[in-house]
């Protein structure tokens, strides 16, 4: 037999989980979307995209990254400050990476 305190704790834990995530169907839907995007990435090996090969891969990579971070890492459901901090670091890292790649182009000329 559960006490009132235990019942409240169980209810609060269940309610917190419900607010902080999605249903199993939602996770399966996201997984299927990620699988489709991965199949599209793999198809770039077999289909000639010409000069759009690398931009297509980079765009698909970014879309998949944001889906995983938003839903599986729960940033979509957390405080917006956490999202701001995460994305700020991400954009700084992308900027450093782009500058690093630009130096290769500079030194090869």
Dump the DSSP string for 29-80: HHHHHHHHHHHHHHHHHHS--GGGHHHHHHHHHHHHHHHIIIIIS-TTTS-H
Tell me what percent of the chain is helix, strand and coil, each rounded to the nearest 5: 85, 0, 15
Same domain, 85 and 74: no
Tell me, what's the pLDDT at 50?
84
Among 73, 81, 82, 71, CA closest to 23:
71
First to last CA, the chain: 78
Same domain, 2 and 42: yes
Tell me, what's the pLDDT at 42?
93
The per-residue pLDDT for range 13-59, each reduced to its tens digit, is: 554 454 567 889 989 999 999 999 999 999 988 988 888 888 888 88
Tell me, what's the pLDDT at 34?
95
The per-residue pLDDT for range 5-26, each reduced to its tens digit, is: 555 555 545 544 545 678 899 8
Q: For 2, which DSSP code?
A: -
Domain hosting residue 97, numbered range: 79-109
- Number of domains present in the structure of the chain: 2
Report the predicted TM-score, pTM, of the whole model to 2 decimal places: 0.62
Same domain, 56 and 89: no
């Amino acid at each position: 037999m559960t006490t009132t305190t235990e019942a409240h704790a169980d209810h609060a834990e269940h309610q917190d989980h419900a607010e902080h995530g999605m249903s199993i169907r939602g996770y399966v839907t996201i997984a299927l979307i990620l699988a489709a995007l991965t199949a599209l990435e793999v198809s770039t090996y077999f289909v000639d995209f010409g000069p759009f090969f690398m931009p297509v891969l980079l765009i698909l990579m970014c879309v998949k990254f944001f889906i995983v971070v938003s839903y599986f890492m729960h940033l979509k459901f957390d405080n917006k400050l956490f999202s701001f901090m995460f994305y700020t670091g991400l954009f700084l890292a992308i900027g450093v990476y782009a500058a690093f790649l630009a130096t290769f182009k500079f030194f090869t000329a």
